[in-house]
A and B are shown apart, each in its own frame.
Chain A
Amino acid sequence: MSLLRRTLLALGLPAALVALWWVTSAGSTSYYFPPLPEILDQFGRLWLSSRFTADVVPSMLRLLAGFTVSAVLGVALGVALGLTDALRRGAEPVLEFVRAVPPTVLVPVIAIVAGIGDGSKTLVIVSGCVWPVLLNTVEGVRAADEVMVDTCRVYGVHGTARLRHLVLPAAAPQIAAGLRQSLSIGLILMVIGEMFAATNGLGFSIVQFQRTFAIPQMWSGIILLGLIGFVLSALFTVVEKRALRWYLGLRESQRRNG
C-alpha cells in the first residue's frame, strides 16, 4: 500500500504535466510550440536510432570524463588544502577569484587554447565542476572531529592510513554533496561546450535544430536532456545511499535519541 502510494505520488505530477502539455498543445498551429505527439514522434526517430551513438554517447563520455577528472582533482586538492592551513590561506583568495568567473565565458578561451576536440569540451566541464567538489572537500576535511583526530594520534594512525580511515570517510558526506552539485553543473557545461565550435553531441544537435528551424526536433532534444539529468541524479542517489549508509544510519540514530 505505502509503496503504491509512493509510486502514485511520484508519478502523479509528471503524468499530469505531460497530460496538460498534450491537451493544450493538441492541434497547436504555433510554429514554436508544436503538438506534443509530433515532438515525441521525433524523439523516437532521432534519439532511439543512429543519433544515439553519434551524439548522445559522445556527450555522455565527455560528461563522464569531465566529472571524473573534477572529482579526482577536487578531492585531491581539497584534502591538501583542508589539511594544510597555510596552503589554504595562501590559495583561498585565488580560488575565490577563479571560482567567481562564470565557466561559460571561458568556453571561447578554452577553445582557443585547447582546440575544439573532446579534450577542450572536457576541460570546459572541469572548469565549472571542480569547484563544488574542491570547496566541499576542504570544508569536510576541516570539520573532522577533534576527538577522532586525537584517537588516530593515540593509536598511531597516520600518513596514508589516516587519510584512508579518517580524513576521507569523515569528509565523505560533504564530498558527496559537492559531487551532486558538480553533476548538474557538468550537464549544463556539457551542453554549452558543445554549442560552441563542435561537430557532434547533444548541445551541438539542439543548436543545429534551432538554426534550421527544426522545432519539434529541438524540443525532443531538450526533453532528452531533462531525462538524462533526471536519470543521472537518480543514479547518483542510489550510489550515495549505498556508500554513505553509515552516515544515514548515524543521522537516523541521532534523531531518535535527540
Chain B
Amino acid sequence: MTEMVTVKGLNKVYESTGRRVEAIGDITFAVARGEFACIVGPSGAGKTTLLKCLAGLLAPTAGEVRIDGTPVTGPPPGMAVVFQEYGRSLFPWKTVRQNIDLPLRQKKLPRDRREKLVTESLAAVGLADAGDSYSWQLSGGMQQRVAIARAIAYEPQVLLMDEPFAAVDAQTRADLEDLVRSLWRSLGITTLFVTHDIDEAVYLGERVLVLSASPTHVLDDVRIGLPADRDQVTSRSTPEFAALRARVHRGIQDAKAGRRGTGAAA
C-alpha cells in the first residue's frame, strides 16, 4: 500500500509573551491510501493542534506533513475537513445546497456536475429533501450530516474529522458513526478521525493511533482486526472489541498518568 498521509517529526510550540507551550512533542506516523485511521488521546493532548497541522491551517514548528508525497504548506487542494462545531462551520446565510456547492464552485466545476455532486452527497447522508433548508432549521445531527455531505461532494483524497460527533446525543452519534463507516466503505477515501472516545475509535477505525498527553507523541498504534462489516450491537459485544478497547484504554490511562508507553506497533 502506498502512503497517503505522512507525518514526520512533527513538533508544535505555541509562544506568547513569556509563555512557551509545547503542544506537540514529536509525532511520526503514516496512513495508507484508503485507510481509516482514528486518532485518540486524552483531552488536552493537542489533538486539534495536530489536525490543524495536517489540514495546513497551522504551520508546525518543526517536522513536516505530506499528503500524497507533497509537503503541506497551506490547506492542500485534495483535503476536506469536518469540524466539531458544525453550527459554526456551515454558513447560516446559505441554504444546505449552497453550502455544499460553494467549495465546488471554487473548484470551477461545471454547473451540471456540481448539481449532480450536491444531490448525490445529500442523498448519501440521508438528507435528500433538506437541500433548500437553512442549516439553523435543522437539528444538530442533521447539520453535521450536511457538513459530511459537503466534505464528500468535494471528492477529497483525504478526509479529516475533528471530534465530529462530540456535540450530538448518543443515538444520533451511533447513526452518524455508521454513516461515516458506510461512506468510507463505499467511497474509499483516506480518513483520519480524531476523537477522545475510545469506543468510537475502535468501532470506526481500521487502525487507532493513541496519543500521549501534551507534549504529544504517539504512544501506541493499534491495528483493529474487526471485520469490515460492523454493527453497533454485535461488533461492540465481541471479545475482540473488548480486548482492543482495553488495550487503547490502558494506553490512555498511561498517558494521563504521564507514563510513556511501549510505542510498539500491533
Please list the residues of chain A having a beta carbon within 8 angstroms of any beta carbon in chain B: 145-148, 150-151, 153-157, 161, 165-166, 169-170, 172, 246-247, 249-250, 253-254
Contact = CB atoms under 8 A, between A and B. Distances in A.
A154 B85 contact: no
Q: Considering the complex of A and B, which 6 residue pairs feature the smallest CB-CB distances, nearest first?
A: A155-B103, A147-B88, A169-B93, A156-B106, A246-B93, A250-B136
Interface stretch (B30-38, B76-84, B237-245): B76-84
A253 B105 CA distance: 29
Interface in B80-110: 80-81, 83, 85, 88-89, 91-94, 102-103, 105-107
Contact of B85 (A147, A155, A157, A165): A147
A155 B77 CA distance: 8
Contact of A157 (B52, B55, B106): B106
Interface string B39-65: 000000000000010011100000000
Given A155-B154, A253-B136, A247 B92 contact: yes
Interface residues of B, number: 28
A155 B101 CA distance: 11
A150 B91 CA distance: 12
Interface string B11-35: 0000000000000000000000000
Contact of B57 (A154, A156, A169, A246): A154
A157 B88 CA distance: 16
Interface in B193-216: none
A161 B75 CA distance: 16
B134 A249 contact: yes
Contacts of A145: 88
Given A148-B89, A166-B91, A154 B136 contact: no
Contacts of B232: none
Contacts of A146: 88
8 contacts: A147-B83, A148-B88, A150-B57, A155-B150, A157-B103, A157-B106, A165-B91, A165-B102
A246 B103 contact: no
B172 to A, nearest CB: 14
B137 interface: yes
A155 B88 contact: no
A146 B105 CA distance: 22
Contacts of B52: 150
Interface string B144-160: 00000010001000000
A250 B102 contact: no
A169 B85 CA distance: 19
Nearest to A155: B103
Nearest to A151: B89
A155 B102 contact: yes
B101 to A, nearest CB: 10
Contacts of A170: 93
A253 B137 contact: yes
A170 B89 CA distance: 12
Given A150-B57, A153-B75, A161 B105 contact: yes
A151 B81 CA distance: 8
A148 B91 contact: yes
Contacts of B56: 153
A249 B136 contact: yes
Given A165-B102, A249-B137, A154 B93 contact: no
A157 B75 contact: no
A50 B83 CA distance: 63
A214 to B, nearest CB: 51
Given A153-B75, A155-B154, A246 B134 contact: yes
Given A150-B55, A156-B106, A249-B137, 10 more contacts: A145-B88, A147-B89, A150-B52, A150-B83, A153-B57, A154-B55, A154-B75, A155-B80, A156-B75, A169-B93
B106 A155 contact: yes
Contacts of A166: 91
Nearest to B140: A257
